[in-house]
Structure 1
Amino acid sequence: MTDKLDFKRVFKAEYTGKAGRWDDLVIPSIPYVMIDGQGDPGGEDFGKAIAALYPVAYGLKFECKAAGQDFTVPPLEALWMADDPSVFVRNDRNAWVWTVMIRLPDHVVPDMLEQVREVALKKLAKKKDAPTDAETMAKVYHGRLDEGRCLQTLHLGPYTDEAPTLAHLHDELMPGQGLTFNGPHHEIYLSDARRVAPEKLKTILRQPVAPV
């Protein structure tokens, strides 16, 4: 029997950082289970997306465990996009386009996801007050992220307090290093917001970059 894969332990640098310091990392190509949407992350669509994502992620985990390739389901992650990056600094949440996602081992392939989704849909159909719906679950897909060079830091506190940190990155740090955006703003949620006080939340902030 193989050891359970723990992403946070094996890929420690990708899940760590220090508040007030931006680390320069090269992130490898990584597969995910993903779902796309738009709007306020406190809104209904975002909640339904997360509720559709987790049954698929855990279904894949159980399939892998049965095959002797078990893994610990890692923290939730999200990509945040907009035509105008300043909407993040202004905290204009309705203008945010997002992809919520959970990392997968390399051996998980799209066909496995389709099989797991069918099982999840059957279970969903039996629930009267389900937190998501079949239409949302149908949008879950297997994808891969190729970020390459990134700047990364640890944010401590509420998500709504990220704006000054991002403003410093966008307006000072990146221009000062001759860098520009090379992909969506990326967050990794190390804390469970349902169980941790806002001031104690820990979030990895990551920005793919490239020379101007």
Structure 2
Amino acid sequence: MATKTDLKKTLDGYQARRGEFRVLEVPPLPYLMVDGHGDPNTAQEYADALAALYPVAYKLKFACKKDGRDYVVPPLEALWWAEDMDAFTRARDKSQWDWTAMIMTPDWVTEQMFEEACATVAAKDRPASLDRVRRETLREGTCVQTLHIGPYDAEGPVLEEMHERFIPERGLRMTGKHHEIYLGDPRRVEPAKLRTILRQPVTTA
């Protein structure tokens, strides 16, 4: 019986505590990605992105399991940004947000395996955004992260503290895009108990 790898337990980037900002080095990691724009709660584009990402992610898992390398599909993640970042941290004007929805894959997944998974998904109930799914290695390097517990819309004060106090006070400056890792499923977990890792790539100021 194949051993099942759980990247949430083996990668340091999935470790975070509420009320604690931590500086860590995140290695280059491979992801399935789909880009988009607009409010994730109302934009069909975001729903379509997830409807394409998950089938590909699970087809890859099943192909790996068949070859004796089973793993737990990692949680949904996303990069978020806006032309005016105040629309993200303070105003929370989601209509102005750009995003990349992502699911990590193990480093042994090949381009051929990805193409075969997409072809299998396309053969039955082809998702509208399947052609937008790509594989890409995310290179974040030095990052600051913390754990937020509660509704997504309550992240603002935590982000302000991270961006305006913790990062500059340690001689760092923000670079790259705001990164969120969703450890809870909003369809099954009440908003007050949602667990989200908030990550910001940084560099020396």
TM range (shorter): over 0.9
Q: Would the aligned equivalents of 1:28 and 1:146 in 2 still touch at CA under 8 Å? A: yes
Distance 1:28 1:83 in 2: 27
When the two chains are superposed, the root-mean-square deviation of aligned CA atoms in Å is: 1.2
1:139 aligns with 2:132: yes
By how many angstroms is 1:186 displaced?
0.4
In structure 2, C-alpha distance between the alignment counterparts of 1:19 and 1:81, rounded to whole Å? 23
Show the counterpart of 1:93.
94
Amino acid in structure 1 at the alignment position of 2:75: P
Structure-1 residue corresponding to 2:164: 171
C-alpha separation between the residues in 2 aligned to 1:171 and 1:206? 14
* Structure 1 counterpart of 2:152, from 159, 176, 193: 159
Matches within 5 A, 1:196-207: 196-207=189-200
Uncovered stretches (5+) of structure 1, i.e. residues with no partner: 126-131
Shift of 1:137: 0.8
- Contact persistence 2:18–2:147 (CA under 8 A): yes
Equivalent-residue separation in structure 2 for 1:39 and 1:7 (angstroms): 30
Q: What residue number does 2:24 align with?
A: 25
Letter in 2 for 1:40: D
Q: Structure 1 stretches (4+) deviating beyond 6 angstroms?
A: none
TM-score w.r.t. structure 1 length? 0.92
* Worse-superposed segment, 2-11 or 23-32: 2-11
TM-score by length of 2: 0.95
Paired amino acid for 1:148: G
- String of CA shifts for 1:17-41, please: whole Å, max 9, x gaps: 1211101110111001111111101
Q: Which residue number corresponds to residue 107 of structure 1?
A: 108
- 1:183 corresponds to which residue? 176
SS state of the match for residue 124, structure 1?
A: coil
- In 1, Cα distance between the equivalents of 2:172 and 2:58? 38
